[in-house]
Amino acid sequence: MRFTNFNQLPNQEQIVLRHLLSEGSITSGEAQMVHRIRSLSRRITSLLDAGIVVEKDDRRDSTGQRYRRYTLRVVPPNMLPPEEPYSQVAA
């Protein structure tokens, strides 16, 4: 599945990308609690298919529970939301 611009991304992918642009990273717990997104890994896969570079970092919390943090690295200019210029994101 290839997308040519931000507006072609499904709604949940747009939500995740906006979060990544504003916060820099996201975890599955954040996606569920803040945005009600249940399958973050699927949303990330779609963003990767769209040419967005996201780094995956496996971690453990203080109780030993494993989780993954996704960090935004590169967003092609055509994938940026049209109404918000994000000059800090490398193209």
| pLDDT of amino acid 83 | 75
Number of folded domains that form the chain: 1
Model pTM score: 0.86
| pLDDT of amino acid 25 | 98
Q: Please state, as a whole number, how many other Cβ atoms lie within 10 Å of the Cβ of residue 84.
A: 10
| pLDDT of amino acid 64 | 96
CA distance 26 to 37: 11
| pLDDT of amino acid 87 | 52
| 25 belongs to a structural domain | yes
* Residues in the chain with pLDDT values less than 70: 1, 84-91
Going across the sheet that includes 66-74, the strands are: 25-27, 66-74, 53-60
Task: List the domain range (segments joined by +) for residue 15.
Answer: 6-79
CATH for 20? 1.10.10.10
| pLDDT of amino acid 91 | 44
| 54 belongs to a structural domain | yes
| 50 belongs to a structural domain | yes
| 85 belongs to a structural domain | no
